[in-house]
Each structure stands twice: as C-alpha cells, then as structure tokens.
C-alpha cells in the first residue's frame, strides 16, 4: 500500500475551486479562471519521480524508509501502489513501473513533500534493487531472431480495433498495404531506385515543459490542472485507467506554451493524479525539468525505411515496395497509430498502380515514442522524395515535371482504394518551383561555396480514429457581444482566432464582438477530441459554424415573427437584422437576451439565444488487415510543395539556406496571415529537424538531454527568405472548404534540403541529421 508519513501538520487542506468570468481587454479573450488557491497556496505539495538508471531490468525491491523518514516528506508511492496502466490506442504503459522497467528514465516511484527541494533530496534516498536484462535500442535489433521480449503480456493489453499488435514479438503494430502485382511490375521498369533511410529520434522541445497540479479530494472529486493538447482525451484515458467516474474528473488547461504533439494524449499527468491520491485533500504539483523533458515525456520515433520504387521510360511510376520499421521506444500506446498512418500513406502523394507496403511499430528500450508534428509523414517522405529525384535523373526528366506527372490528383483512386478528395498539388508544385527559379543555375556567393536547388512534395491526412468529434456553443451577452465555447486548445497556432472569425462570419457580427472562452475546462467546455492532426480548422470550425448558424436561425425566426415576415427575406450584417423586403432593421443588442415584446407589450417572444453545434465524420471505413484496402481510409489529405535554394561551404560543410518556398492547398484560407505564419514556423521547424538528434550511449543513457547539447534552430539559422503561398481547392465538408495546414510544412523540408544539397555537391545523404561535420567529412572522402 502507499506509504504515508503521519507527521503532524498545521497546513490547511486544499479547497474546492470557484469559477468566474473575466475579460482580457488586451487580447480580446473572455477567460474562465479558477481560484487556484488550492493549486498554489499553503496546502500545495510537490512531487518528484524516482527514475530507472537501467534500460531494461526487473524491479526486485524498493525501500522507501529513508525517504519517508525525511522531514517534510508526506508520502512515497511506488508501482506496486499504483498498478494501473494507461494508453491511447494500445493500453501498454504503467503509470509507475511495477515489476519491470523498459528505458532509462522509466518512473518507478514518486515522492511527495512540502517543497520541491525536499522531494528532490528524498528521491535520492529511495533504494531500488534491479536485476538487469538484455536491452535492444533500434527497431532492426528488436526485430532480430532471439531479441529480448520487452512486453511478454502484449496479447493481454486492450487495443483499438484498427491496431494489430503481434503477441510473442516486439511488434506493437503491423499495417499491410497490398495493391496490384509488384513482382510482375519490376521487369517493366526502365529505372529502379532503392535505398535504406534512417532517422534518429528527436524531441519536441516546447518552451514550456510539462507540468501538472492534481487534487484528489476526500469526496472523490479529482481536478487536474495541466498543460495539454488533449483535455477531454486526457480525462477519458485517466478516468478509464484509474477507475474514476468521468463526471468526477475535471481537467483544466490554460494556453499551452508549445506542444508540437508532445502534449497530446497522456504522458506524465497520470503520475500527478496517482500521487495526489496518496495525500487526499492536498494538491500535488509535478513539474518536469528540462533534462526530464527530453526522456520523461515522448519523443519522435526513430525510423529505418527500406524503399524501392520503379518507373517506365516515360517517367510513369509503376511499382513501389517499402518496409517501415519505427523505433517506438518502451511503450507504444500512441506510436502504433503513427505506424498505421505511415502504412496507409506509404506511397507519399503519388499514384502508383502496384504497391507492397509494411509499416511496423517496434518496441525498443529507449524513451517513449509518440506523436510529433507531421505524425510519421516527415519520416517516410525523407526517403520517398529523394528516390523521386533519383528516378527523374535516371530517365533524364526535370524533377518538378516528374512530380507533376505522377502526383495524386482529384478523384484519383489512391493506394487504399479511396477516391482522392479535391486538391491541386500541381499548382503547388508550379508556384514553389517558380518562387526559387528551380532549374535555373545561379552563381554561389564565393568560390569555395556550391549552390543547389531542390524540391519535395507531400501529403498528410488527419491520423485519428474514424469518429473523433467536435462541439461548440455560441451565446450572447446583453450588448450582443458573443461568447464562443469550445474544447479545442490554443497552442499559439491561432485556433481561437479562427473560431472567432468563423463565428463572426456565420452570425453576421463584427469579429471584434466575439470572445472565446478560456481556459479549456472539461467541466464547462464543450467536447473536443484533441488538438492534434491539423484538424481544428476543419472539425472544430464546422462545429462553431453550425453553432453560429443555429443561433442565427433562432434570431431570424424571432424577428421574422415580430415583423410578420418570412425568415428567408431577412439577413444579419454588422450586428443588425434587416429585411430585404421591408427594409426594417433590428439591432441584436438586448434582443438576443431579453427577446422582443408583443404588440402593446402583451407578453414577449424569444429569450436568450444559445446556438449549439457538433461535428463528427461519419464516412471513414475500416481497412482490410491483409491488404489495407477500403472505401474511405481517411477524411481527407492536405497536400503541398516545398522548394529550397541553398549554398554549401565546402571548407566547413556549413549549409546556408538562401530561400525556402512553401505552397500548400488549404481549401480555403480562413485567415491568410495565420496560414503564412504556419508556413514560416513549419519551414524553420522542418529545417531544424535536419540537424536534431537525441543520442544515447550503448546502455541506453541519454547523452544530450539539455539545450546546451541538443541542437535546435535559432534565429541565426532562419533562412534569408521564406516565401509562403497557398492554393485554394475547396474541401467538400470543410467550413467554406477549409482544411488544416498546421503540420504539413514540416513534412517535405528535410528531403527538399537533401535534394538541394545533392544538386550542389552531387552527394546523397540517406540518414539524418545533416550536420556540418557530417557534410565536411564526406567532402573529405571520410565515412
């Protein structure tokens, strides 16, 4: 059982929170804030985690006596006290490791104390006896015959019905794609290119680290204040794992200081809740250090891709065979869906008649692999887009023309048997190529530098279950200002701005009248699956539009009855209802709350206007386990092109990006400025991924878990020019045709840079990172 320190205390216990409306005059945002005395007052306790120093071991004994005897320590919780497991698609991750640890950093216990410093000191006093086991650190190693089995109970885990783990192996997911006859197509190919491409794990590096405050009240009510992309999904997963009624668990999340996928699902938040369970009535704060952020949350999975593609003499793609091995880390609860997404999108944005694809998520003894901006697409496009350049070169075709010929187009039947929704990828290619003058030779800035240009294209679908929903509420204040309530999260990407714009346009009121409620609070905010998958503009946007249109229709019907007119003859613009027939006008002010009087004030009609909207795709179908074929694999794809103009310094290996041109088909740009900002940020993020890598020693210990040693892009690295543009091909079920573009710019950046480096130097790089040192060594003829 949980070990408690019965040391007397005069500290008050945590109290229930209260909620009040506030309006920020600077940001124009209506905010629901909590009285966080319970979460930061004198009753607050602090927690630190005891982490495994071994990559793979059995936990033989834990002695918490010395830690518990330390003044200020209130409780110590071990994996035996908290045996629950949690997970998004595959429930495979212990909240605290009990019998076995599977990576360096796996938490085995938590210490709760009156200060973070005391908790940190007490962590060092917890004695853990381990029995080390053989470990595997790469997917190829984990797939080899005789590899140690990391999850012997894999067959007993709960799993989503579209994920297929292979019990008795280290394979947590195997997605198969079969189309046409690959073997009969190879002899018809005039050019064939195959290669093995490798990408290391990388970190999200949010400016704000993970932090949670949990309060488990004696009544059984649980509140979790946390920085998350997934308030409702987090509530659902933790409630299921810890057997808490959903109505008793409340998740409150303010603006998020950077997510990039790393704050999706559940990472360390469940730890905070089980620790709070040990000291009921006291909020417990668990904050990860920057060093813990690198190994104690999730990272982008590693990938080894074996890919072979062929085309005929005219440049028509004929066949593709690929096998993706994702290094999923110790637990694959979210990573399994990344492998699945890579499988049903394994061709990239190309129409290929004969395809054999296998995409595997594989357990390894490294930190947990999880979602990151792009969700598997940057990884698979790294190899695909380099091969496309090589095929074009083999048959003597311009690389942009090769892509125009073979890229997917509207109504094409793609690899899964699905008909492609409306897109215009050719227009994206044309604009990107023109922006950098692709195909035109330009002189470098110095004799020791080489200049090169490259292009890459991409696609990405929202990777999610078939039925993720969004909901919204639109209501009015007396002065006709509007409150929009959503469950979608603001990460800095502008989701609140878009929600306000959509509501304003659908209602017919000025944008300045609209407020979006924050923070997101599962007790009050309408349901939203998660803020992931670049789905909000489309899914949340539809819900907000429906809610606003519902409110608008109520207003029109009330005023039409008041005037004795047909609602079809009325409209709302500038915050006033007017009639095209009678030219009557009625301001929304007051009537949207108080209604309108009958003649001679003999009663009233109307009342407070509240619009309700919900949206969920209903048309996504299952895919055959053996072939990956089905009617509708995904809701839609966003497509785009990226072109790069750069110079390489042959004396240092340093790459300077002169210009990046990024063009994406966004369906409809609800906010063109936000689209261009996403393009800029995504281009820099994608460029940063070319020199990022989490490194580990031969025992699985992290070597560069700080911002001193882990290289990310800074202002110094930003390209001289980022040219952003977009194409608008309306999506059938998007709000006014809109689709998302948040992640997509990250996807083709690295291969576009690699293709430009090859154009400059004539050298191909199959693995990341592309460091200056690596380029220099290759130029010197060294491995």
Task: Tell me what the pLDDT averaged over the chain comes to.
Answer: 94
Average pLDDT over residues 72-83: 97
Neighbours of 467 (CB within 10 A): 10
Name the packing angle between helices 425-436 and 399-406 (round to 10°). 170
How much of the chain, in percent, has pLDDT values that exceed 90? 94
Provide the H-helix boundaries in 226-368: 231-242, 269-277, 290-295, 335-344
| 520 touches 487 (CB < 8 A) | yes
Tokens linked to 485: 């309530």
- Per DSSP bridges, beta strands 369-370 and 610-615 are unpaired
Q: 126-145: per-residue pLDDT in tens? A: 999 999 999 999 999 999 99
pLDDT of 453 reads: 98
pLDDT over threshold 60, residue 676: yes
CA distances from residue 426 to 144, 222, 542, 675 in whole angstroms, order as listed:
42, 52, 27, 19
Average pLDDT over residues 415-442: 98
Q: Rounded distance, CA 3 to CA 695, Å?
A: 37
- Whether the full predicted model's pTM is greater than 0.85, yes or no, is yes
R_g of the chain computed on alpha carbons: 28
Q: 493-515: per-residue pLDDT in tens? A: 999 999 999 999 999 999 999 99
Three-class SS of residue 178? strand
- Per DSSP bridges, beta strands 249-253 and 222-226 are parallel
Neighbours of 158 (CB within 10 A): 11
Confidence label for 42 from pLDDT (cuts 50, 70 and 90): confident
Q: Which residues contact 716 (CB under 8 A, 6 or more apart)?
A: none
Shortest CA distance to 233 belongs to which of 207, 261, 211, 191?
Answer: 261
pLDDT of 6 reads: 39
pLDDT over threshold 70, residue 249: yes
Shortest CA distance to 209 belongs to which of 288, 275, 142, 273?
Answer: 288
Shortest CA distance to 150 belongs to which of 167, 163, 162?
Answer: 167
Task: Output DSSP code: residue 212.
Answer: E
Measured at the CA of 190, the angle between CA 185 and CA 196, to 5 degrees, comes to: 75
Q: Which residues contact 113 (CB under 8 A, 6 or more apart)?
A: 45, 46, 47, 48, 70, 72, 73, 74, 119, 122
Q: 754-778: per-residue pLDDT in tens? A: 999 999 999 999 999 999 999 999 9
Q: Rounded distance, CA 266 to CA 395, Å?
A: 49
Q: What are residue 86's DSSP bridge partners? A: 93
Q: 369-402: per-residue pLDDT in tens? A: 999 999 999 999 999 999 999 999 999 999 999 9
Neighbours of 245 (CB within 10 A): 10
Q: 616-664: per-residue pLDDT in tens? A: 999 999 999 999 999 999 999 999 999 999 999 999 999 999 999 999 9
Reported residue count of the chain is: 783
The DSSP annotation for 364-420 comes to -SSSPEE--TTTTHHHHHHHHHHHHHHHHHHHT--HHHHHHHHB--TT-B-TTSPBP
Cis preceding-peptide flag for 519 (omega within 30 of 0): yes
Q: Which of 173, 217, 680, 743 is catalytic?
A: 743
Average pLDDT over residues 572-578: 98
The percent of the chain in helix, strand and coil, each rounded to the nearest 5, is: 25, 30, 45
Taken in order 407, 408, 410, 413, the sign of the CA dihedral is: positive
DSSP H/E element including 709: none
- Per DSSP bridges, beta strands 222-226 and 211-216 are antiparallel
Tokens linked to 55: 């990559």
Q: Rounded distance, CA 52 to CA 588, Å?
A: 62
The residue ranges of DSSP E strands in 180-287, in sequence order, are 191-199, 211-216, 222-226, 249-253, 284-287
| Residue 600 half-sphere exposure toward CB, CA atoms < 13 A | 1
Q: What are residue 605's DSSP bridge partners? A: 596
Average pLDDT over residues 103-124: 98
Sheet with 610-615, strands from edge to edge, namely 514-516, 482-486, 470-476, 610-615
The DSSP annotation for 281-314 comes to TS-EEEE--HHHHHHSS-EEPEEEEEEEEEE-TT
pLDDT over threshold 80, residue 34: no
Burial class (CB in 10 A: 0-12, 13-18, 19+), 781: exposed
- Per DSSP bridges, beta strands 85-86 and 93-94 are antiparallel
Q: What are residue 738's DSSP bridge partners? A: none
| Residue 456 half-sphere exposure toward CB, CA atoms < 13 A | 34
pLDDT of 7 reads: 39
Shortest CA distance to 88 belongs to which of 333, 373, 267, 298?
Answer: 333
Burial class (CB in 10 A: 0-12, 13-18, 19+), 353: middle
To the query of whether residue 557 is one of the catalytic residues in this protein, the response is: no
Q: 708-719: per-residue pLDDT in tens? A: 999 999 999 999
Average pLDDT over residues 163-179: 98
| 775 touches 648 (CB < 8 A) | yes
Phi-psi region of 396 (alpha: psi -120 to 50; beta: other; left: phi over 0): left
pLDDT over threshold 80, residue 25: no
Residue identified by tokens 């979460």 is 39
Three-class SS of residue 83? coil
CA distances from residue 276 to 223, 271, 380, 710 in whole angstroms, order as listed:
10, 9, 41, 33
pLDDT over threshold 90, residue 237: yes
Sheet with 570-573, strands from edge to edge, namely 570-573, 576-579, 585-587
Taken in order 432, 385, 263, 86, the sign of the CA dihedral is: positive
pLDDT over threshold 70, residue 465: yes
Q: Rounded distance, CA 66 to CA 64, Å?
A: 6
């Amino acid at each position: 059982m949980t070990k408690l320190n019965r040391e007397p205390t005069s500290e008050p216990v945590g109290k229930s929170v209260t909620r009040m409306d506030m309006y920020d005059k600077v940001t124009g945002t209506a905010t629901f804030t909590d009285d966080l005395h319970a979460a930061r007052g004198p009753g607050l306790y602090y927690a630190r985690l005891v982490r495994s120093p071994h990559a793979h071991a059995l936990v033989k004994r834990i002695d918490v006596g010395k830690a518990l005897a330390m003044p200020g320590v209130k409780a110590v919780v071990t994996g035996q006290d908290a045996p629950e497991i949690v997970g998004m698609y595959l429930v495979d991750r212990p909240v605290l490791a009990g019998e076995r640890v599977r990576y360096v950093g796996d938490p085995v216990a938590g210490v709760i104390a009156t200060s973070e410093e005391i908790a940190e000191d007490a962590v060092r006093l917890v004695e853990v006896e381990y029995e080390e086991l053989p470990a595997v650190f790469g997917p190829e190693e984990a797939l080899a015959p005789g590899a140690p089995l990391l999850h012997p109970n894999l067959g007993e885990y709960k799993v989503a019905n579209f994920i297929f783990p292979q019990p008795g192996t280290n394979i947590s997911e195997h997605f198969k794609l079969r189309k046409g006859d690959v073997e009969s197509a190879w002899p018809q190919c005039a050019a064939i290119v195959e290669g093995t491409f490798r990408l290391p794990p990388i970190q999200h590096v949010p400016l704000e680290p993970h932090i949670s405050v949990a309060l488990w009240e004696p009544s059984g009510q649980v509140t979790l204040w946390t920085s998350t992309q997934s308030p409702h999904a987090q509530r659902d997963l933790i409630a299921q794992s810890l057997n808490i009624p959903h109505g008793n668990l409340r998740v409150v999340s303010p603006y998020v200081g950077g997510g990039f996928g790393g704050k999706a699902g559940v990472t360390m938040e469940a730890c905070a809740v089980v620790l709070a369970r040990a000291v009921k009535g006291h909020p417990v704060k668990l904050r990860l250090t920057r060093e813990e952020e690198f190994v104690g949350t999730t990272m982008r999975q590693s990938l080894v891709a074996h890919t072979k593609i062929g085309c005929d003499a005219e440049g028509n793609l004929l066949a593709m065979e690929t096998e993706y091995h994702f290094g999923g880390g110790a637990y694959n609860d979210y990573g399994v869906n990344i492998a699945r997404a890579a499988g049903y999108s394994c061709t990239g944005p190309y129409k290929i008649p004969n395809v054999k694809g296998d995409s595997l998520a594989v357990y390894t003894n490294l930190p947990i692999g999880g979602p990151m901006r792009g969700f598997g697409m940057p990884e698979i496009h790294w190899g695909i887009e380099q091969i496309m350049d090589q095929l074009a070169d083999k048959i003597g075709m311009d690389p942009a023309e090769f892509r125009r010929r073979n890229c997917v187009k509207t109504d094409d039947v793609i690899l899964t048997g699905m008909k492609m929704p409306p897109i215009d990828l050719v227009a994206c290619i044309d604009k990107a190529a023109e922006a950098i003058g692709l195909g035109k030779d330009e002189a470098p800035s110095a004799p020791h530098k080489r200049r090169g240009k490259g292009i890459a294209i991409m696609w990405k679908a929202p990777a999610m279950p078939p039925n993720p929903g969004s909901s919204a509420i639109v209501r009015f204040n007396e002065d006709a200002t509007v409150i929009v309530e959503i469950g979608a999260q603001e990460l800095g990407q502008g989701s609140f701005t878009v929600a306000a714009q959509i509501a304003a346009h659908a209602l017919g009121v000025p944008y300045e009248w609209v407020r979006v409620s924050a923070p997101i609070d599962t007790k009050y905010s309408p349901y939203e699956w998660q803020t992931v998958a670049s789905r909000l503009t489309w899914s949340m946007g539809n819900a907000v539009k429906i809610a606003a249109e519902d409110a608008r229709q109520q207003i029109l019907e009330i005023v039409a009855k008041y005037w004795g007119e047909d609602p079809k003859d009325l409209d709302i613009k500038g915050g006033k209802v007017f009639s095209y027939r009678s030219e009557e006008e009625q301001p929304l002010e007051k009537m949207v709350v108080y209604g309108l009087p009958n003649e001679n004030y003999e009663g009233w009609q109307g009342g407070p206007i509240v619009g309700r909207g919900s949206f969920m795709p209903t048309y996504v179908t299952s895919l055959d386990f053996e072939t990956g074929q089905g009617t509708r694999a995904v809701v839609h794809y966003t497509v785009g092109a990226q072109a790069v103009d750069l110079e390489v310094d042959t004396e240092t290996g340093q790459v300077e990006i002169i210009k990046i041109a990024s063009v994406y088909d966004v369906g409809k740009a609800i906010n063109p400025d936000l689209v261009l900002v996403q393009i800029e940020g995504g281009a820099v993020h994608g460029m940063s991924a070319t020199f990022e890598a989490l490194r580990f020693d031969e025992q699985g210990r992290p070597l560069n878990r700080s911002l001193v040693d882990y290289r990310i892009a800074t202002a110094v690295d930003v390209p001289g020019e980022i040219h952003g543009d977009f194409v608008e091909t309306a999506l059938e079920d998007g709000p006014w045709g809109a689709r998302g573009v948040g992640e997509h710019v990250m996807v083709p950046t690295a291969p576009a840079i690699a293709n430009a480096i090859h154009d400059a130097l004539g050298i191909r790089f199959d693995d990341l990172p592309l460091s200056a040192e690596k380029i220099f060594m290759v130029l010197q003829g060294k491995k």
